[in-house]
Chain A
Amino acid sequence: MGLSHQEVEELQEIARQLRIDIVEMLAKAGSGHTGGSMSMVEILVALYFRHMRHRPHEPCWPDRDRLVLSKGHGAPALYAVLARAGYFPREELSRLRVLGSILQGHPDMAKTPGIDFSSGSIGQGLSAACGMALAARLDKKDLRVYSVLGDGDMQEGQTWEAAMAAAHYGLGNLSAIVDYNRVQSDGPVEEVMEISPLAAKWQAFGWRMMEIDGHNLADVSDALEWTSGKAESPSVVIAHTIKGKGLSFAEGKASYHGVAPSKAELEQARKELAPKRERVVR
């Protein structure tokens, strides 16, 4: 069942507001990964505000769906989502990357409520998600495990070890979403280390596969709905995205992979991300 026009608009508005939160956080911190945070906002919004079963006031609820952010450098986006969902006060966002903060440079499950797994070293997340999916199946729990991967994850061999194992064990309760923004730290992915044909790779490994526009919330939501259907094999959504989405100065640029916006850029971002209409959604 697809989203109504109004539901799409509501999620779009959340995404818009979260983009501002992310830019503010990064600018305040003075460091962090802008491009890969902005590219996956719609993916996280659809997950946390539409598809995942979770309880922000009970972060360790045993029956919750889980998310493993394998591209841990996208932490600012996840933190903005978790704060908005109510896992911790929004004021914490201003303490990103500060000594003693609950918001580390990369996700730390021991410090941040709502983080299901620590990450930061690319390529390990899908394996951990497999472990959770296997465990849930062992306990006969009807929960789903999601893992958001980046281009870099596609270059790490361990991801393909995990892909092989997930198919071998028939993990129908596992959904991977690839934030395919095509730019990495040193430049365009195709120049650094080509990962295409991505769809064919996943299919060859025995996964159900769907390709979508990762910034179209209706598409993202439909795809997540599709992954949660009963299946004997794991599912992957290849979400075509734009690195730095929403920031004219950062879109598609490797130079903003691991760089925070300056003060002037923050001002510009506020203008670019301002609401297009008066209407403000709760």
Chain B
Amino acid sequence: MSDMLGTRDAYGKTLARLGEEHPEIVVFDADLSKSTRSAEFGKRFPDRFFNMGLAEQNMLATAAGMAAYGKMPFVSTFAIFASGRAWEQIRQSICYSDLNVKIVATHGGVTVGADGGSHQCTEDVALMRVLPKMTVIVPADAYETEQVIEAVVEHRGPTYIRLARSKFPVCYGPDCSFKIGRAHRIREGRDVSIIAVGLMVHEAMEARDLLAADGIDARVVNMSTIKPIDEEEVLAAARETGGIVTAEEHSVIGGLGSAVAEIVCEKHPVPVKRIGVQDLFGMSGDPDSLLEFYGLKARDIAEAAKVVLDESARA
């Protein structure tokens, strides 16, 4: 069993550390700083931390003003409030002018758990991916989160980073090497590819073991940058393995699965199956039962991979 670490915990620690060498970093939160862990930065740098109260639209546009002035704002709240409630502010005030605002949203996906469907955001990647200029990143674990935060500080432009409430099993160690726009092929494989993000990278690795037991050699790719997506890696999966399963803790509409399907359909059609939330809202429950309920477990991925294999064999 791998260690369990929180991506939001890694965010809070990393941001507070980077605040030292980057005086231009300012941080905003909307009364959820204890939950998002942005409060860690606030404790270290109270002058550069702004609690905006429950006013997300104002928070995002205020951050835009800060960026227009020359600061580097990090803005945190839950994924649904950042990407949903303040979507138009992100479009008009941030992306339209290509402003350097980093949105780090926690509580993405159904593993939010007991708070229920109102708080389980399964639409944010779709909402952010459609915006011109926006970079969208979903780290696979706490170690990758740390590197993602370091990388986006060096990157200029609007960025959306999706983190989770629950602790994730660790896929990497401190030696992982994240680069914006570059997928990581975690495991080689010839028969089928699993392209995953976030928590689902771990499920994909377990699915690979299940498939191996049946003599199927599955490739596992962590596509942590969903936009700009690593097109070459998607096409390599299509060409070299002939079929793809995508896996995300997000709606199958508009997220990673859509992004992969767009490329595959246009450039190298092969069978694709999308594991994700099937156009449904979430509900209360413990995270693991919710993953089971919505068909987001390793065995769901493995079954989809077998279907893809059958389809590509028939093709």
Contact of A131 with B66 in the complex, beta carbons under 8 Å: yes
Residues of chain A at interface, number, CB under 8 A: 32
Contact of B62 with A134 in the complex, beta carbons under 8 Å: yes
Contact of B92 with A131 in the complex, beta carbons under 8 Å: no
Among B50-58, B225-233, B252-260, B305-313, the stretch that binds chain A is B50-58
Contact of B92 with A136 in the complex, beta carbons under 8 Å: no
Among A95-103, A119-127, A224-232, the stretch that binds chain B is A119-127
Query: How many residues of B sit at the interface, in one of the four size bands?
Result: 20 to 34
Contact of B57 with A127 in the complex, beta carbons under 8 Å: yes
Contact of B68 with A117 in the complex, beta carbons under 8 Å: yes
1/0 per position for B60-93, CB-CB distance to A under 8 A?
1111111111110100000000000000110011
A residues engaging B (CB < 8 A)? 62, 66, 68, 108-110, 116-121, 124, 127-136, 138, 157-158, 161-162, 164-165, 168-169
Q: A109-B68, A131-B65, A131-B69 are in contact. List 11 more A-B contacts (CB 8 A).
A: A117-B64, A118-B96, A119-B92, A120-B92, A127-B59, A127-B61, A128-B62, A132-B68, A158-B61, A162-B58, A165-B55
Contact of B53 with A128 in the complex, beta carbons under 8 Å: no
Q: A109-B97, A135-B26, A165-B58 are in contact. Are A62 and B70 (CB under 8 A)?
A: yes
Which chain B residue shows the least CB distance to A117?
A: B68
From A108, A120, A162, residue with most partner B Cβ within 10 Å:
A162
Contact of B63 with A131 in the complex, beta carbons under 8 Å: yes
Total cross-chain contacts (CB, 8 A): 101
Contact of A132 with B66 in the complex, beta carbons under 8 Å: yes
Residues of A within 8 A of B63 (CB): 131
Residues of A within 8 A of B60 (CB): 127
Residues of A within 8 A of B57 (CB): 124, 127, 157-158, 161
B6 to chain A, nearest CB (A): 29
Q: Is B214 part of the binding interface, using a Cβ–Cβ cutoff of 8 Å?
A: no
Q: A121-B88, A135-B65, A158-B57 are in contact. Are A128 and B70 (CB under 8 A)?
A: no
Q: A134-B62, A158-B58, A158-B89 are in contact. Are A116 and B47 (CB under 8 A)?
A: no
Residues of A within 8 A of B68 (CB): 109, 116-117, 128, 131-132
Residues of A within 8 A of B58 (CB): 127, 130, 158, 161-162, 164-165
Can you name 10 A-B residue pairings with CB atoms under 8 Å?
A: A66-B69, A118-B93, A128-B64, A130-B58, A130-B65, A131-B63, A132-B66, A158-B55, A162-B61, A164-B55
Contact of A110 with B98 in the complex, beta carbons under 8 Å: yes
Contact of B65 with A132 in the complex, beta carbons under 8 Å: yes
Residues of B within 8 A of A128 (CB): 61-62, 64-65, 68, 93
Which chain B residue shows the least CB distance to A156?
A: B57
Q: A62-B70, A161-B58, A164-B55 are in contact. Are A129 and B65 (CB under 8 A)?
A: yes
A158 CA to B54 CA in the complex, in Å? 11
Contact of B53 with A132 in the complex, beta carbons under 8 Å: no
Residues of B within 8 A of A136 (CB): 69
Which chain B residue shows the least CB distance to A127?
A: B61
A58 to chain B, nearest CB (A): 15
Partner of A138, one of B47, B62, B65: B47
Contact of A132 with B55 in the complex, beta carbons under 8 Å: no
Residues of B within 8 A of A108 (CB): 96-97
A270 to chain B, nearest CB (A): 35
Q: Is B167 part of the binding interface, using a Cβ–Cβ cutoff of 8 Å?
A: no
Contact of B70 with A124 in the complex, beta carbons under 8 Å: no
Residues of A within 8 A of B59 (CB): 127
Which chain B residue shows the least CB distance to A110?
A: B97
Q: Is B48 part of the binding interface, using a Cβ–Cβ cutoff of 8 Å?
A: yes
A30 CA to B26 CA in the complex, in Å? 43
From B50, B63, B68, B88, residue with most partner A Cβ within 10 Å:
B68
Contact of A164 with B53 in the complex, beta carbons under 8 Å: yes
Residues of B within 8 A of A124 (CB): 57, 61, 89, 92-93
